[in-house]
Amino acid sequence: MTRKIIAFLFAVALTGAACFSQTTQTAVLEDFKPSTLNQPGQEYPQVNSQGYARFRIKAPQADSVKVSLGLGGRGGTKLTKGADGFWTGTTEGPMDEGFHYYHLTIDGGTFNDPGALNFYGSVRWESGIEIPAHDQDFYALKDVPHGNVQQILFPSKSTNTSRRAFVYTPPGYEKDKSKKYPVLYLQHGWGEDETAWSNQGHANLIMDNLIAEGKSKPFLIVMTYGMTNEVKWGRIKEFKIEPFQTVLVDELIPYVDANFRTLADRSNRAMAGLSMGGMETRTITVNKPDVFGYYSLLSGGVYSPDELKDKSKAKLIFLSCGSKEKPDGVRNAVSALKEAGYNAVSYVSENTAHEFLTWRRSLHELAPLLFR
Amino acid sequence: MTRKIIAFLFAVALTGAACFSQTTQTAVLEDFKPSTLNQPGQEYPQVNSQGYARFRIKAPQADSVKVSLGLGGRGGTKLTKGADGFWTGTTEGPMDEGFHYYHLTIDGGTFNDPGALNFYGSVRWESGIEIPAHDQDFYALKDVPHGNVQQILFPSKSTNTSRRAFVYTPPGYEKDKSKKYPVLYLQHGWGEDETAWSNQGHANLIMDNLIAEGKSKPFLIVMTYGMTNEVKWGRIKEFKIEPFQTVLVDELIPYVDANFRTLADRSNRAMAGLSMGGMETRTITVNKPDVFGYYSLLSGGVYSPDELKDKSKAKLIFLSCGSKEKPDGVRNAVSALKEAGYNAVSYVSENTAHEFLTWRRSLHELAPLLFR
C-alpha cells in the first residue's frame, strides 16, 4: 500500500517535470509488477497500471537485444545494456489490454524471453505477456466449480495417425451420468494450435464463470488443430478446406459423439473460429448445413445472405471483431443478415485489435446465446 | 533409402580415415534426422542413429553460443559460427537413449533453442531433445484405444486457490459408466511440475499400450504439483512435507474420489514418485499407512524395513533406478525388504541415468504389478 502511494507521488513528480519538457509524454507510473504469464518465480517481464511493459534480459556479451511485440504491442522495444550485464527497456507507450505474443531478437537471432511462459502462435512457441484488462474478472480463476479440459487422441484415417484435441467438459459432467450436452467446435487462428483457446483464451475459465453465474447453458467445447501449418501467412487464400473438413466432420465429431455424452444433432452443435479459424468455420458451415446449427466468426470474416443455402439451418449467426479491426464490416453484415431474416448478432470488443482479448470477450458474449 | 546408403558409405570412408588418425574416435554417421521433440517444421536439433546430437542456431552477431546438456548429455557442446550466421555443432559423443533437457548460453545469457519444444524442468521451461531408444515402442503413439488426460482444477483451502492436476482416465472410462477404478498418484521430480509425466514421461501412452496388450489393469493416474519451487536444489533436505501432504491427502484425493469413479480405499490406491517425488512418496506413505497400499520410489531412495510401521499395509514396494545411478542400493534394499517379509520388487533400467527414460521404463514395469 505504502509502495503504491510512493509510486503515485513519484508519478506526480514525474508528470510535473513533463510539463516543462518539449514533448507531452505521459509519465510512466513506477508501479510495475511481474506479468501474470511469467514462469514461476520470474520477476520480469513486468507490466504497470497504465499498460506499459518492461523487459529485463541477461546477456552480458550481446551486442543488441530487441523485443518484438505483435499487434497492439507498439512494435518493437530496444533494450539497453546496464553495467550488470542485464538489458532493460520499457515500451514507448501503453499496450492494448489483454494478451500479446512477443519474442526477442538477440544479435540477429530469434529467441524467447526466459522469464515468460510460451504460447503457440506464428507457427512457433512464442513468449506471452498479459496487460491486465479492466474486465479481466470474466476470465479469472475463481472459487467456482471447474470443468475439466481433457486431452483426447482420436483416430484419423484420412491423416493416418491419432490426432490430438482438447475437450472442455463443464462442471458436473462427471457426476450426472445421464445428462447429455450440446457441443461447440472452436477453432484457433493461423499459426496457433489446439492449445490456444485454453492457454491464451482461458475458454475453460470463461465457461466456468458463466455457468456459475447461470448465464450460459453448460456445453462441451472441442478444440483441435486446424492444420494451419500447411499454409503460409500471406498465401492463406490457397488454403484447401477439404483435409481439415474431413478430420473435423468425418472423424472428430463421430468420435466425440461416441465417447462423450453429447446431444448429437445439428441443433445442438455449434462451430466458431477466430481469424483463419473463422474462415474455416464459414466454409465448413456452408458446405455442411446439416452438421452445425450455430455459426460464429470471431475476427474471421462475415457471411452474406446469398451464400447461406438454406435459411432454416442457421439458428444463430454471431459475428465479432475488435474495434481496432473493421467493426463496420461486422455490423453491416449483421444488418444485411437480419434484413434477410436471419437471427444474427454482432459484437465489437472495445479498444482491442486482432488479438486474444477480442476473442475471450467474443466467447463470453457468444456462449450465453448458444443452444437456446 | 539412397540417402541412407550414401550416408553409410560416407561413414565407412570416415571410419577408414579414422584408422590413420592418432585417436580412435568412432566416425559420426551422417544419418542425422530432426529430433522428434522439435517444434513443427523445424529441422534442428537433429539426432543420428548413434545418439549424437547436432545443433544449429541463428545468431549472426553473437560472440558465443553454447549448448548445455544435462545428465547423459555429455556436458556442453560449443557451437561454431558459419559464414551464413548460423552456429552449428555436434556433441562430442553419443548421448544416452531417451529424453534430455538442455538450453543455450548465448553471449552469457540463458535461452532456449527456438527449434525445440519446451519442457518444465530445473524450475524453468527448458528445451528438450529425444535420442530414440531401442525399446521406444512401449511409449510410442500407436493405433490402439487411447485414454484421456484431463486437466482438473481442484479447490485447495490450505493454499487458498484452485490447484491444477492432470488425471489420466484409461480407454473405456467414458463408456462403461458403472465401472470403478483404482488410482495411482504419480509425482514428478525437483524443478518439474504436473506436466512432466505426460509431456516428458508419456505416461498416458505407456498405459494405453500396456492396457491394449492386456498387461496392466486399467487405472487412473493423478499427477499434481509437488510444490518443489519452495526448495532450492542442494537444500532439498530442508523440504517440509506437510504443505504438500495436506494438498494431496486432504484435498486432492477427496476431490478425485468425489469427481471420478474410483475405488476409494487403501488397497486400490498407489503412490509413486521420481527423484524428489520419491522422497515425497516415501514420507507420505509412511506417515499415512491407511491411505496408500502400493508404494514406489523411482530413482527416489529406498525404504528400510524398520520405517514401515505396519507390515500388513504395504501390498507392494517397487524400487527402481537407472544402471548409471546406484542400482546396488535399490537391489540391496529390496533384498532386505523381502527378508523382512515384504512383497518388494526392484527394477534397474539398463544404460540410463537420473533421466526420464529410467522413469518411463520404471512405470512400464510397475503398472502391471499394481492392484493385483
The predicted pLDDT at position A285 comes to 97
Contact at CB, A148 and B151, closer than 8 angstroms: yes
Are B125 and A109 a contacting pair at CB < 8 A? no
Looking at per-residue pLDDT, the higher value among A178 and A117 belongs to A117
Taking 90 as the threshold, does the pLDDT of residue B94 lie above it?
yes
Q: What is the C-alpha separation between A189 and A255, in angstroms, rounded? A: 23
> How would residue B229 be classed by pLDDT, with cut points 50, 70 and 90?
low
CA A371, distance to chain mean position in Å, is: 22
Sorted by sequence, the CB contacts under 8 Å of residue B287 that are 6+ apart come out as: B241, B245
Is the Cβ of B150 closer than 8 Å to some Cβ of chain A? yes
Domain boundaries, chain B: 1-31, 33-131, 138-369
B146/A152 CB distance under 8 A:
yes
Is the CB of residue A85 less than 8 Å away from at least one CB of chain B?
yes
Question: ∠ CA B322-B148-A259 to the nearest 5 degrees?
Answer: 155
The verdict on a CB contact (< 8 Å) between B111 and A106 is yes
Pick among B61, B117, B142 to test the A interface (most A CBs inside 10 A): B61
Distance between CA A80 and CA A223 in Å, rounded? 41
B5 CB-near residues (< 8 Å, 6+ apart) = none
Stretch A280-292: mean pLDDT: 96
Q: Which of residues 198-227 of A touch B (CB under 8 A)?
A: 198, 204
For A170, the grid coordinates are 463443464
Q: Which residue, among B42, B111, B190, would best test binding to A if mutated, counting the most A CBs under 10 Å from its CB?
A: B111
Asked whether the predicted pLDDT for residue B309 surpasses 90, the reply is no
C-alpha cell at B52: 549424437
Q: Tell me what pLDDT residue A8 has.
A: 34
- Region B220-246: mean pLDDT is 85
For residues A327, A333, A334, A338, the Cα torsion angle rounded to the nearest 10 degrees is: 160
pLDDT in the model for residue A312: 80
pLDDT at position B228 over 90: no
A232 touches chain B (CB under 8 A): no
pLDDT at B370 over 80: yes
Which range is most confident: A202-216, A301-315, B302-316?
A202-216
Is pLDDT of A47 > 50?
A: yes
Mean per-residue pLDDT, A185-208: 97
B3 touches chain A (CB under 8 A): no
Q: Chain B: nearest CA to A301, how far in angstroms?
A: 27
Condensed to tens digits (0 to 9), the pLDDT of residues A67-92 reads 999 755 556 899 999 999 999 999 99
Contact by Cβ (8 Å): A94, A50:
yes
Buried b / exposed e over B182-199, threshold 16 CB at 10 Å, is: bbbbbbbbbbbbbbbbbb
Per-residue confidence band for A16, with pLDDT thresholds at 50, 70 and 90: very low
Closest CB from A109, A141, A259 relative to B59 = A109
ipTM over 0.85: yes
Return the pLDDT at B24.
52
A59 touches chain B (CB under 8 A): yes
3-state secondary structure of A54: strand
Query: Is the Cβ–Cβ distance between B27 and A29 less than 8 Å?
Result: no
Confidence (pLDDT) at B236: 73
From chain B residues 245-304, the ones with a CB under 8 A of any chain A CB are 259-260
CB–CB of B143 and A124 under 8 A? no
Contacts of A290 (CB under 8 A, 6+ apart): A266, A313
Report chain A residues whose CB lies below 8 A from the CB of B255: none
Convert the pLDDT of each residue in B113-130 to its tens digit: 999 999 999 999 999 999
Q: H or E segment at A258?
A: helix A253-259
CB contact under 8 A, B57 and A175: no
Q: From CA A143, how far away is CA A161, in angstroms rounded?
A: 39
Q: B323 CB near a chain A CB, below 8 Å?
A: no
Q: How confident is the model at residue B237 (pLDDT cuts 50, 70, 90)?
A: confident
pLDDT digits (tens, 9 = 90+) for A253-279: 999 999 999 999 999 999 999 999 999
What pairs with residue A320 in β-bridges? A298, A347
Q: Hey, are the CB atoms on A162 and B152 less than 8 Å from each other? A: no
Strands B124-131 and A220-224: unpaired
Please provide residue A266's backbone torsions phi and psi, each rounded to the nearest 5 degrees: -55, -40
- Identify the closest residue of chain A to B155 by CA–CA distance: A143
Query: pLDDT at position B313, please?
Result: 84
| Among the partner residues A64, A162, A260, nearest to B143 by beta-carbon distance | A162
How does B219-255 read in b/e, with b if 16+ C-beta sit within 10 Å? bbbbbbbbbbeebeeeeeeebebeebbebbbebbbeb
Q: Provide the residue type at A57 as one letter.
A: I
The one-letter amino acid code at B25 reads Q
Confidence of residue B22 (pLDDT cuts 50, 70, 90): very low
**pLDDT in the model for residue B9:** 35
Q: What proportion of chain B, given as a percentage, has pLDDT over 90?
A: 84
Q: Does A160 touch chain B (CB under 8 A)?
A: no
User: Does the beta-carbon distance from B64 to A63 stay under 8 Å?
Assistant: no
SS (H, E, C) chain B: CHHHHHHHHHHHHHHHHHHHCCCCCCCCCCCCEECCCECCCCCCCEECCCCCEEEEEECCCCCCEEEEECCCCCCEEECEECCCCEEEEECCCCCCCEEEEEEEEECCEEECCCCECEEEECCEEEEEEEECCCCHHHHCCCCCCCCEEEEEEEEECCCCEEEEEEEEECCCCCCCCCCCECEEEEECCCCCCCCHHHHCCCHHHHHHHHHHCCCCCCCEEEEECCCHHHCCCCCHHHCCCHHHHHHHHHHHHHHHHHHCCECCCHHHEEEEEECHHHHHHHHHHHHCCCCCCEEEEECCCCCCHHHCCCHHHCCEEEEEEECCCCHHHHHHHHHHHHHCCCCEEEEEECCCCCCHHHHHHHHHHHHHHCCC
CATH number at A22-132: 2.60.40.10
Is B149's Cβ below 8 Å from some Cβ in A?
A: yes
- For domain B33-131, the CATH class is mainly beta
Give the pLDDT score at B12: 33
Alpha helices in A102-241 (DSSP H): 196-199, 203-212
Task: Name residues whose C-beta falls within 8 Å of residue B282's C-beta, 6 or more positions apart in sequence.
Answer: B295, B297, B300, B301, B303
Pick the residue with more confidence: A228 or B319? B319
Q: What is the pLDDT of residue B320?
A: 98
Question: In which region does residue B359 sit, left (phi positive, over 0), alpha (psi from -120 to 50) or beta (all else)?
Answer: alpha
Question: Which of the listed CATH numbers 3.40.50.2300, 3.90.79.10, 3.40.50.1820, 1.10.730.10 matches domain A138-369?
Answer: 3.40.50.1820
Q: Tell me the mean pLDDT in the region A82-109.
A: 96
**pLDDT digit string, tens, across residues B34-62:** 999 999 999 999 999 999 999 999 999 99
User: What pLDDT was estimated at residue B14?
Assistant: 35
Q: Is the pLDDT of residue A10 over 90?
A: no
Res B71: pLDDT: 57
For residue B94, how many C-alpha atoms fall within 13 Å in the half-sphere facing its CB? 18
Q: Which of B40, B85, B123 sits opposite A229 (nearest CB)?
A: B40
B108 Cβ under 8 Å from any chain A Cβ: yes
C-alpha A2: how far from chain center: 36
